[in-house]
Amino acid sequence: MLGPDTAWYLVVAAFLFGIGALGVLIRRNPLIVLLSLELMLNGGNLALIAFSRHFHNGAGQIFGLTVMAVAASEVCVGLGLVVAINRKKLPLDVDRLSELRG
Amino acid sequence: MIVASAGNVVVWMVWLVAGFSCLASGVAVISFRNPFFSALALIGNLASLAVMYLLLNAEFVAAAQVLVYAGAVVVMFLFVIAYVGPRREEPWTGGPSWQTLGAVLAAGALLVEIVVAISLDAGHSLGHDGKVGPTFGSPAWIGRLFLVDHLLAFEITSVVLLIAAVGGVILGSHVRRVEPLTSEVAD
């Protein structure tokens, strides 16, 4: 395998996951929280595909594609929620939306 | 041997550029005030990740990454951001400021934990591996895996996508309130 070891890819994946976790924890705009979730999912995907290449096993790539589909579903529902929040003229702030009431 | 080492250097350089732009655009996603720029930064992140997938012999996943994320997910984000309109995140007023510190500490602890777990094993089983076959990662190979070995996962994924689409439509649809007839009767 030319280039860096699997461990280097895993380190990039770990940093990507950490950046995404930081974004989910510190940002209050639900749109940016969703974007940070995408970063975390992509970090997990990179690790899955690196392991797939490492063990010469296709299940990692299949799992990565499944994660992509789940991410698309999550964005679909999350953006639907943002649109519903916006229609009710509520603030787009996850700290002030702490009550699960309509 | 010289050709192999030259190829190695090229792959390393491509990897370094892709990894750096991946992490830089990740930081940009969470640090922009305007969500529009964050969504645009996510496109850079996805593109550099697709380069990494290509380096890992995952051609089909790289193509799917660009199509699904940059083509569908980011476009949907941009539409919703345009629909919601430019709303700036208001400065932090209520709540203790230790929450931000705690968030940074929690994310840092998570990162350190993962990196330590990787570095403990880096020299042994995560070292160089051999070559893979020419079909590894090709669309035909992925299709065979999906439709022969992992058919149940494929079908469940399609059902999950369908349910999410229905949920998104219901969440985004107008709620038409039907006025109760009893009020007219009372008048």
pLDDT digits (tens, 9 = 90+) for A32-49: 999 999 999 999 999 999
Instruction: Specify whether the backbone of A92 is left (phi greater than 0), alpha (psi in -120 to 50) or beta.
Output: beta
Q: Which of A36, A66, A75 sits opposite B29 (nearest CB)?
A: A36
Q: How confident is the model at residue A94 (pLDDT cuts 50, 70, 90)?
A: confident
Query: Residue B135 is encoded by which pair of tokens?
Result: 């079909």
CA distance A101 to chain B (A): 14
- Distance CA(A11)–CA(A14), nearest Å, equals 5
CA atoms within 13 A on the CB side of B25: 21
Range of the domain at A68: 6-87
What residues have CB less than 8 Å from B78, skipping those under 6 apart? B36, B39
* Closest by CA position to B81, among listed B119, B25, B37: B37
State mean pLDDT over A23-29: 87
Residue A55 has pLDDT above 90, yes or no: no
**pLDDT < 50 stretches in chain B:** 185-187
| Burial category of B184 from C-beta neighbours within 10 Å (exposed 0-12, middle 13-18, buried 19 and up) | exposed
What local confidence, expressed as pLDDT, does residue A62 receive? 92
What local confidence, expressed as pLDDT, does residue B128 receive? 60
- Find the length of chain B: 187
What local confidence, expressed as pLDDT, does residue A86 receive? 85
A52 touches chain B (CB under 8 A): yes
- Distance CA(A13)–CA(A36), nearest Å, equals 14
Query: Residue B25 is encoded by which pair of tokens?
Result: 């655009």
State mean pLDDT over A5-28: 89
- Distance CA(B165)–CA(B34), nearest Å, equals 27
Instruction: Answer positive or negative: Cα dihedral of A76, B88, B105, B98.
Output: negative
Q: Is the separation of the CB atoms in B26 and B107 below 8 Å? A: no
Residue A49 lies in a domain: yes
Q: Is the separation of the CB atoms in B155 and A34 below 8 Å? A: no
Residue A13 has pLDDT above 60, yes or no: yes
Counted domains in chain A: 1
**Average model confidence (pLDDT) for chain A?**
87
**Between residues 142 and 161 of chain B, which touch chain A (CB distance below 8 Å)?**
142, 145-146, 149-150, 153, 157, 160-161
Give the CA-trace dihedral at A38, A49, B117, A42, to 10 degrees: -10
Q: What is the 3-state secondary structure (H, E, C) of B88-156?
A: CCCCCCCCCCHHHHHHHHHHHHHHHHHHHHHHHHCCCCCCCCCCCCCCCCCHHHHHHHHHHHCHHHHHH
Residue spans of the domains in chain B: they are: 1-86, 139-173
Give the Cβ contact number of residue B185 at 10 Å: 7
A53 touches chain B (CB under 8 A): yes
Residue A100 lies in a domain: no
- Distance CA(B41)–CA(B46), nearest Å, equals 9
B13 touches chain A (CB under 8 A): no
A40 touches chain B (CB under 8 A): no
Q: How confident is the model at residue A102 (pLDDT cuts 50, 70, 90)?
A: low
Query: Residue A46 is encoded by which pair of tokens?
Result: 């990179």
| Cβ separation A53–B165 shorter than 8 A | no
**Between residues 96 and 125 of chain B, which touch chain A (CB distance below 8 Å)?**
100, 103-104, 106-108, 110-111, 114-115, 118-119, 121-122
As assigned by CATH, the class of the B1-86 domain is: mainly alpha
What local confidence, expressed as pLDDT, does residue B181 receive? 57
Return the number of CB contacts < 8 Å for A and B.
241
Question: Which CATH number does the domain housing residue A15 bear?
Answer: 1.10.287.3510
What local confidence, expressed as pLDDT, does residue A84 receive? 86
Q: How confident is the model at residue A3 (pLDDT cuts 50, 70, 90)?
A: confident
**Between residues 27 and 46 of chain B, which touch chain A (CB distance below 8 Å)?**
27, 29-30, 32, 35, 38-39, 42, 45-46
Residue A59 lies in a domain: yes
With beta carbons under 8 A apart, name residues in chain A contacting B174: 87
Query: Residue B146 is encoded by which pair of tokens?
Result: 């999906």
What residues have CB less than 8 Å from A53, skipping those under 6 apart? A1, A6, A60, B56, B57, B58, B129, B132, B136
Query: Residue A74 is encoded by which pair of tokens?
Result: 């999550």
CA distance B57 to chain A (A): 7
pLDDT, one tens digit per residue, over B151-176 is: 999 999 999 999 999 998 888 787 66
- Distance CA(B106)–CA(B109), nearest Å, equals 5
